[in-house]
A and B are shown apart, each in its own frame.
Chain A
Amino acid sequence: NAGVMQNPRHLVRRRGQEARLRCSPMKGHSHVYWYRQLPEEGLKFMVYLQKENIIDESGMPKERFSAEFPKEGPSILRIQQVVRGDSAAYFCASSPRMFGTGSESANEKLFFGSGTQLSVL
């Protein structure tokens, strides 16, 4: 069973361009979480999605950032008109059901993909 797959691994964009980051969850997982890691910092929650629904986007900037998880295909994190401050590592995680429901099962653990390193020139 392949883990969480993210692509591209590295993405270089010039200021003002658009960045699209993709995340394919583990097989059978319908919940996806995006986190951002700035250099020398911890991971910050951005958005939580189920298939075709955004459940919690409280950590995502109100402008220029959007996320989707369509019925078919990977989850996409889209950053429009990128600025240098968007340079970071973006990690995706998935789970088979809602994380945080309090169960003791292994399903409650979050496993991360390898991340996309976005560099804005």
Chain B
Amino acid sequence: GENVEQHPSTLSVQEGDSAVIKCTYSDSASNYFPWYKQELGKRPQLIIDIRSNVGEKKDQRIAVTLNKTAKHFSLHITETQPEDSAVYFCAASRPGFQKLVFGTGTRLLVSP
């Protein structure tokens, strides 16, 4: 089955710096890759997603890139702010496979 690995497990940056979180997946048939942000004690919230027919997608300060050949995708956050501090999860899903497989999460800490 699908396996998603995520790195780093923790990431500390200064406010205003960029943050990059990387994920790799094992199932070449996977075609949907969402990213979720989870604050302490809260629900995971979808922040951006990308499908395999697209190489990059951007939404204000966040962007996701996908390399299908290498089977990896990354989340990029620019101009980080303290409120970006949270745990971020990547996930992958294949067509007709009614479940998301999640990475183990990255704890991002943005210091003022």
- Using a CB–CB distance below 8 Å, which chain A residues touch chain B? 33, 40-45, 48, 55-56, 59, 91, 98-102, 104, 108-115, 117
Contacts and interface: CB of A to CB of B under 8 A. Distances in A.
Nearest to B93: A100
A55 B98 contact: yes
Contacts, number: 64
A114 B100 contact: no
Interface residues of B, number: 27
Interface in B18-32: 31-32
Given A100-B93, A109-B34, A109-B46, A33 B98 contact: yes
B104 interface: yes
Interface of B: 6, 31-32, 34, 36, 41-46, 49, 51, 89, 93-105
Contact of A99 (B6, B98, B101, B102): B98
Contacts of B94: 100
B98 A56 contact: yes
B97 A100 contact: yes
B46 A111 contact: yes
B43 A41 contact: no
